[in-house]
Amino acid sequence: MKLTPREISTPRPNMSLTIPEGMAPVEFFNSPANLKNLAEENGLFRTPEDWLMYRKLIGHSSEFDTSIILDTSRRILDPLGRPVRRDQLGRQEKKVWSQMTQIICDYMFEKYPDPKKHLVLCGEASLDSTWPLNKPGVPSIRMIHNHFMVFPYDQLIEANKANPNNVNLTDSGHNTLFLRRLSSVYHEFLEVLDLQLLKQIPPEESALAVTGYPQGLPSWELIGGANRLKDRYFWYEYEQILRGFLDFYQTFFSLVSTGEERIPADANFPNQINDVLLSSHRFLRVARDLREKIVLDPQFANEIRWRPAYKQILYRDQKGRIIVTISQNSVGNAITELLGIVVNRYEAPEEYAELEPGLVGRLLEVRERLIEANLGEAISAPSWPSGEYVAR
């Protein structure tokens, strides 16, 4: 079987949203009003810390697909004042986030025990003002966002081949920047992390057997497998990877922006920045080349995210290993595309209605585990008013 990115098609229902007159759809979707609607129509569970679990109505997978977000839009009105990354969370917020993630992942691993039959994916991303300021629809929501999905491998194997030059698979050209022009220094820089539970593995070993993705990214295998998700030290190491990525990103784009070689004031690993990044002729040259391209190419300049934007995922591969990787998050690309999976979501209400009872039933099952853990309260939505699926 040839390794190639895959494009799957997933049905979705009609969207029943009332957008205020005079407000563009993209403005509504990036507003707190959308979050309110999302919670009322598709909300499953909310914690006192404002973690909101919901059903993805325009989802990626019809097998299992849910997300949790930190919905602080009701108590922090200034979008720029909301936490959008794990390292910005308070201690209790971070503790509950880890517990919810571990519980949902445990459910997926138990429900889909055969790694040869199902790809299990948990992916975290920032959604905030890192969106270019001159790009239509600048997000005002600002939230940390975690996705949980399951894909049958049969579906991926039978899917059409995706265009490897798809702009979302190449991160609008930035994927090439990080993986081809900066790959060696990127890997060297992240080797500084003193990790005990996460063991760095060669990029070719982390690639999925069906797609060959992720391509060339630093990857770590979780020693001890899924049971280690219950270990608090794992979540500490998971965050260290993010902190290393942030240092790399901030140092590089600060250099691109100003042309000055300097260590960010809030750097986590300042010595490593100085010894590896600012001492690398290649790192400095690529930053200079990108700086010149931004000046000369307005269209390319419009795609730049100057503030750190990331996708960090853990997934179970076909060998049953739990693997962690992290990538730059560019405009428009989805969490699945990091693994070479392009999702075409098409409107098909009748087809979706056949799948909906099973999908919602599994989401309600995992919600019961969150309730049993005493993490928050169930939300009554129109499709599950009393904790059971009801056709609408």
pLDDT band at 108 (very low <50, low <70, confident <90, very high): very high
Handedness of CA 216, 329, 323, 162 (dihedral sign): negative
The pLDDT of 102-130, averaged and rounded, is 90
What local confidence, expressed as pLDDT, does residue 288 receive?
Answer: 95
- Decide: helix, strand or coil at residue 107: helix
- In this predicted structure, what is the pLDDT of residue 138? 61
Residue 291 in this model has a pLDDT that exceeds 60 = yes
126-185 pLDDT, tens per residue?
766 556 666 666 666 778 889 999 999 999 999 999 988 777 775 544 555 666 778 889
* Residue 102 pLDDT level (bands cut at 50, 70, 90): very high
Q: Per-residue pLDDT for 315 more than 60?
A: yes
What is the three-class DSSP state of 98? helix
Q: Which residue has the tokens 């922006």?
A: 257
| pLDDT computed for residue 177 by the predictor | 66
DSSP-derived pairing of the beta strands 43-46 and 377-378 = antiparallel
**pLDDT value at residue 79:** 79
Using one digit for the tens of pLDDT, what is the confidence trace for 201-236? Answer: 988 888 898 998 888 888 999 999 999 999 999 999
- The pLDDT of residue 346: 92
3-state secondary structure at position 7: strand
Region of poorest pLDDT, from 53-57, 116-120, 214-218, 322-326:
214-218
Cα–Cα distance for residue pair 224/229, rounded to 1 Å? 9
What 3-state class would DSSP assign to 92? helix
The string of pLDDT tens digits covering residues 2-21 is 678 999 999 999 876 777 88
pLDDT at 200 over 60: yes
Please report, for residues 53, 69, 182, 278, 285, the alpha-carbon distance to residue 281 in angstroms, rounded to integers and kept in the order given: 45, 40, 11, 8, 6
Instruction: Report the percentage of the chain scoring pLDDT > 90.
Output: 61
| Measured distance CA(211)–CA(209) in Å, rounded | 6
Helix (H) / strand (E) element for 346: namely strand 341-347
CA 188 → CA 18, 130, 185, 272, 280, distances in Å? 50, 26, 5, 10, 11
Are 25 and 76 in contact, with CB atoms under 8 Å apart?
no
Has residue 348 got a pLDDT over 90?
yes
State the number of CA atoms in the 13 A half-sphere of 302 facing the CB.
9
Dist CA 146 CA 94 (whole Å): 13
β-strands 6-12, 341-347 pairing: parallel
Q: What is the mean pLDDT of residues 96-122?
A: 97
- Contact by Cβ (8 Å): 319, 221: no
Can you tell me the mean pLDDT for 179-200? 88
Q: Would you kindly state where each structural domain of the chain is located, as residue ranges?
A: 6-169+195-232+308-378
Q: Which residue has the higher pLDDT, 134 or 243?
A: 243
**H/E run at residue 39:** helix 32-42
Q: Say which residues have a Cβ less than 8 Å from residue 221's Cβ, sequence separation at least 6.
A: 198, 199, 201, 206, 321, 322, 323, 324
